[in-house]
Amino acid sequence: MKDKIINMLELTGFTWFIPLIKLVTGESPKQQLQDLVKMIGIPMLAMIIFLGLWHVGAAKVVTSLGQVPGPVEVWKQASILIDEHYIEREKEVKFHERQDIRNAKKLAKDPNAEVTDRPYTGRQTYFDQILTSLWTVFVGFVIASIIAIPIGIVSGLSNTLYSALNPLIQIFKPISPLAWLPIVTIVVSAVYVSEDPMFSKSFITSAITVTLCSLWPTLINTAVGVSSIDRDLINVGRVLRLSYATTVFKIVIPSSIPMIFTGLRISLGIGWMVLIAAEMLAQNPGLGKFVWDQFQNGSSESLGRIMVAVLTIGILGFMLDRVMLTMQKFFSYDKNAVIR
């Protein structure tokens, strides 16, 4: 039981809790306490010093929107945002209750009356915006991976194809999302025309921009991983006369999984960074738009709210990376490899 929990924590990267688990089960308390101080104590200390410096430093800068908010003010804004979310949700529930009652009355009077179920059109809460951002980056990232991994595998296997694609990759890789965005916006508005669109244009524009920027690390890492497979392993496949498809699925992909995941992790990190910029400009209702709206709003609360968003972006980015790391460890054959 204990070993299972520890194993799982190791897999997910929550190694800080391991000494705690061992302590609870009574394994050499002294050693565990030392580990605890090292793994939790020191990072905590660094965090406290950071908050202190922030608090002192922020108090010294006065802007047009008032003082730069310190940790306390940011915490307050965070709680307000959370409260607003619950208030908004309550409003929504009440709206639907009222609507249901109204409709029921109508039907009671005249069973043939036309009843309309209107959706609630209240404003998006902070959590809605976070979900929008996560969903957008997920869609963009998945599209990028679906394109990048197969191309990476094929071009890693063929030198000719790799030298054909390499200049294109090198040219497109360093392009900023802000440069892509106007092109994507205009192309999307020209091509994506429908009476009843399933997705809003701003969503598609943001997702495609994420795709365009997060393709490259996966593509390059996959190609490098595939082309650096041990020749002898490929030769084993040739001796067995495996077909191209079998070689790819049984030999090429398993042996380049670690590199593919390294690429995916970098891609997701870049995708998340790009998304915020894309949302600001494309007005996709996510965290990027939230930051932009607060900036335009310019009230005394704005700076604090932007900082809440900044921290949220950081924490979510960290969590996304952890998810990828866990998946990498799970799918990789070499469980002992040190992956950071």
Judged by the rule CB under 8 A, the positions of this chain that interact with other proteins are 230, 232-233, 235-236, 238-242, 246, 250-251, 254-255, 257, 333-334, 336
Q: Which residues contact 65 (CB under 8 A, 6 or more apart)?
A: 298, 299, 300, 302, 303
d(CA 217, CA 141): 12
Tell me whether residue 109 or residue 238 sits nearer to other proteins (CB atom).
238
Cβ of residue 233: shortest distance to other proteins, in angstroms?
6
Cβ of residue 330: shortest distance to other proteins, in angstroms?
13
Contact assessment for residue 113 and residue 106, using Cβ atoms and an 8 Å cutoff: yes
Cβ of residue 255: shortest distance to other proteins, in angstroms?
7
Dihedral angle computed from the Cα positions of residues 320, 322, 323 and 328, in that order, rounded to the nearest 10 degrees: 130
d(CA 178, CA 209): 9
Positive or negative: CA dihedral 103, 104, 107, 109: negative
Tell me whether residue 71 or residue 254 sits nearer to other proteins (CB atom).
254
Tell me whether residue 3 or residue 114 sits nearer to other proteins (CB atom).
3
Tell me whether residue 205 or residue 256 sits nearer to other proteins (CB atom).
256
Cβ of residue 253: shortest distance to other proteins, in angstroms?
10
Cβ of residue 261: shortest distance to other proteins, in angstroms?
14
Q: Which residue shows structure tokens 């003010």?
A: 73
Cβ of residue 275: shortest distance to other proteins, in angstroms?
34
Q: Collapsing DSSP states into helix, strand and coil, what is residue 63? A: strand
Tell me whether residue 153 or residue 181 sits nearer to other proteins (CB atom).
153
Contact assessment for residue 217 and residue 151, using Cβ atoms and an 8 Å cutoff: no
Dihedral angle computed from the Cα positions of residues 46, 51, 52 and 53, in that order, rounded to the nearest 10 degrees: 90
Tell me whether residue 100 or residue 230 sits nearer to other proteins (CB atom).
230
Tell me whether residue 257 or residue 273 sits nearer to other proteins (CB atom).
257
Nearest Cα to 12, choosing from 334, 321, 337?
Answer: 321
Q: Collapsing DSSP states into helix, strand and coil, what is residue 197? A: coil
Tell me the CA end-to-end span of the chain in Å, nearest whole number: 27
Cβ of residue 167: shortest distance to other proteins, in angstroms?
24
d(CA 38, CA 44): 10
- Residue 101, sorted as left (phi over 0), alpha (psi -120 to 50) or beta, turns out to be alpha
Q: Which residues contact 79 (CB under 8 A, 6 or more apart)?
A: none
Q: Collapsing DSSP states into helix, strand and coil, what is residue 62? A: strand
Cβ of residue 336: shortest distance to other proteins, in angstroms?
8
Other beta carbons within 10 angstroms of residue 2's beta carbon come to: 11
Tell me whether residue 114 or residue 232 sits nearer to other proteins (CB atom).
232
Tell me whether residue 36 or residue 242 sits nearer to other proteins (CB atom).
242
Cβ of residue 308: shortest distance to other proteins, in angstroms?
44
